[in-house]
Structure 1
Amino acid sequence: MAGISSRLIIVLSFLILEGTASAQKKSKQQPLRLFLIGNSFSQNASKYLPEISKQGGHQLIIGRAEIGGCPLQRHWDSVAVNLADSSRGRAYNGRSLKQLLSEGTWDVVTIQQASVFSGDLATYSPYARNLYNFIRQVQPNAKIVFHQTWPYRADAKMFGRINGNVFAKDQKEMWIYSRSSYHSMADSLGIQLIPVGDAFWKVASDAKWGYKKDTTFDHKNPVYPHLPTQDHALNIGYFWDKDRKLAFDANHANDAGCYLAGLVWYGFLFKENPRKVSFVAPGIPEDFAVELRKVAAGVLKKNTK
């Protein structure tokens, strides 16, 4: 018994030392400094990223240059105006993109197209390249990447543009054109993509996990506070506004969509497996959370081949 006890003490001591070393390693890890140039979609995608990162033992600092609905053109136009006259072009709460980017050293800087223009490749030029060159001047050592935004929910009233004033006819077409445009521009710039749009489509197109419209709900005569069933939706969808009127948002991510996007970002930034994440965003059923982690891991694996 004494021999067994001694061996047990040795094993426990080893595990304690190993755990302590691991904790010390995590505590000494330098924070990843992430800067987002985007809009509400980048805000959605990063909503749960700090909590996911913290749970995984990673420190994260996020900087932002975000304007609601802002496309690449508007981001670049603000830079061009500011370069010509430093008192103008301060589009981010009175500050310029150059000012924000110059605050310390950023490890990763992301750019994205506004979702409504994401399927129209012509809307990316020359703005994406101009922004890329500008970021490279201000932050020469930063890794610049594209955030691939997502398609709108299947029951959206309208989808994104794919060619001038031509709009995608459905969710799948929006995803296909958006994906193609992001990849074409990323390849042209020689940068990587954070494949959030692919993850959204993977869930939406799944026979079991994809959102299906509730055909039993009377949309013409809704009664507060009842809402249609929206199981497995990744977009906000139907909700009651402050005036108790039934509102609809098929574009922005709900908590499940924000969680999925955060998982993809986490896996991309830290080279971690999203399936090992234990944090779950509020209100997401455990079985659905498991599926979202699986999807995030799958699209990252596919995009790194």
Structure 2
Amino acid sequence: MKAPALLFALLLFCASSFAGEAKTVKLLTIGNSFSANATHYLGDLAKAGGHKLVHQPLVIGGASFQVHAEKAQKHEADAKDKAGLYTSGRGLKESLELDRWDYVTIQQASIKSHDFATYQPHAGWLRDYVAKHAPQATLLVHETWEYRKDDPRFIKPSTAAGEPKTQEEMYKGLRAAYDKIAAEFHARIIPTGDAFHLADTDKTWAYQTDTTFDPKTAKQPALPDQTHSLHVGWRWAKPKTGGPVALGMDGHHANTAGEYLGACVWYEVLFGESAVGSSFIPKGLDASYARFLQETAHRAVAARVK
């Protein structure tokens, strides 16, 4: 067992030995919509476990390591430059120094997650910046997840070299890339991507594409069977650019089930105790399916501490 894994196993054992002890975890996430998805229900799980979460999210839609690093660099160059500020009105430096964070997380943009060449040097720059301005915080690497198997990226895959053509290829690529950067940083991983893959490939609970649905001929409000999808998938909505309601596909972002699965993974890593049996289940989520998601999150985290 490697040192970081051994340490986490020890912490998890100690935490379970003092079950019921209330904890306060202070978390700052440097991410994008995927970090927002994965932490959506984290506070609810913490409350159900008798704990408290203090969370400062720094979210930029679709942002990569590079986007966050360059924003911080702009703020360093000119503190009045709005390009260096988050919606809170603070730069990354002020955000890191705002509180004594227990954990700070970083992650790659999902579209680039499989390609390690896109990680450096900006991931390393952020690692050093966090260490400088929040030296007490533990840096965690958030492993993001694969897209849904029927996402347009896989229906009409890119012919570019190195681009994943299937969900399986995307997962293998992103796992290898996140493992490599975490090893370089001697950092722990929040294995949300592992949990998604376990659920996406489960013989009983995996999402199966509805091959009877034809989006080209579908009329509102018709939708395919999307049972056990972890992603938003097909939906009728008004385009962001305006206009009438249209059928669209989002095979990237997590839906309620995916957000719950992600939050269970984060809960186990941050609070050091199992999410299995948590009393918090999002409204509308079937209890037996929620239990499967809890158990899947637990399997993903446990596999990382062996």
Is the structural similarity TM-score above 0.5? yes
For 1:173, the aligned partner's letter is E
| Cα separation, 1, equivalents of 2:158 and 2:258 | 23
Q: Is the 8 A contact 2:140 2:189 kept in 1?
A: yes
Shift of 1:104: 1.5
**Stretch moving more, 53-62 or 283-292:** 283-292
CA deviations on 1:240-285 (whole Å, 9 max, x unpaired) are 1033311110000000000000000001101111112121112211
Aligned match of 1:140 in 114, 135, 155?
Answer: 135
Aligned match of 2:228 in 232, 239, 244?
Answer: 232
Tell me which residue corresponds to 2:256. 255
Tell me which residue corresponds to 1:32. 25
| Cα separation, 2, equivalents of 1:289 and 1:229 | 19
Give yes or no for the alignment of 1:71 onto 2:64: yes
| Cα separation, 1, equivalents of 2:176 and 2:158 | 10
Q: Please, what TM-score do these two structures have when normalized by structure 2?
A: 0.87
Question: Structure 1 regions of 5+ residues with no counterpart?
Answer: 1-21
Shift of 1:148: 0.4
For 1:49, the aligned partner's letter is L
Shift of 1:105: 0.9
Aligned match of 1:207 in 203, 206, 217?
Answer: 203
Q: Please, what TM-score do these two structures have when normalized by structure 1?
A: 0.87
Shift of 1:225: 1.2
State the secondary structure of the residue aligned to 1:252: strand
| Cα separation, 1, equivalents of 2:158 and 2:92 | 28
By relative contact order (CA 8 Å, sep 6+), the higher-ranking structure is 2
For 1:223, the aligned partner's letter is K
Question: Structure 2 regions of 5+ residues with no counterpart?
Answer: 1-18, 239-243
Shift of 1:126: 0.7
Tell me which residue corresponds to 2:76. 83
Give yes or no for the alignment of 1:96 onto 2:91: yes
Aligned match of 1:114 in 109, 118, 125?
Answer: 109
State the secondary structure of the residue aligned to 2:153: coil
Q: Is the 8 A contact 1:117 1:162 kept in 2?
A: no
Shift of 1:164: 7.8
Give identity over the alignment, percent: 39
The count of aligned residue pairs is 279
**Stretch moving more, 149-158 or 88-97:** 88-97
Structure 2 counterparts to residues 11-22 of structure 1, below 5 A: none
| Cα separation, 1, equivalents of 2:158 and 2:75 | 31
Q: Closer, same or farther in 2 for the Cα pair 1:230/1:134, shift >3 Å?
A: same
| Cα separation, 2, equivalents of 1:114 and 1:199 | 18
CA deviations on 1:176-205 (whole Å, 9 max, x unpaired) are 000000000000011000000000000101
Shift of 1:163: 11
- Cα root mean square deviation, aligned: 1.9
Q: Is the 8 A contact 1:153 1:235 kept in 2?
A: yes
Q: Is the 8 A contact 1:266 1:272 kept in 2?
A: yes
Q: Closer, same or farther in 2 for the Cα pair 1:50/1:117, shift >3 Å?
A: same
**Stretch moving more, 95-104 or 119-128:** 95-104
State the secondary structure of the residue aligned to 1:158: helix
For 1:188, the aligned partner's letter is E
Q: Is the 8 A contact 2:75 2:85 kept in 1?
A: no
Aligned match of 2:125 in 124, 127, 130?
Answer: 130
Tell me which residue corresponds to 2:287. 286
Aligned match of 2:51 in 51, 58, 78?
Answer: 58
**Stretch moving more, 99-108 or 35-44:** 99-108
Shift of 1:207: 1.8
Give yes or no for the alignment of 1:218 onto 2:239: no
Q: Is the 8 A contact 1:120 1:164 kept in 2?
A: no
Please tell me whether Structure 1 or Structure 2 has the larger radius of gyration of its CA atoms. 1
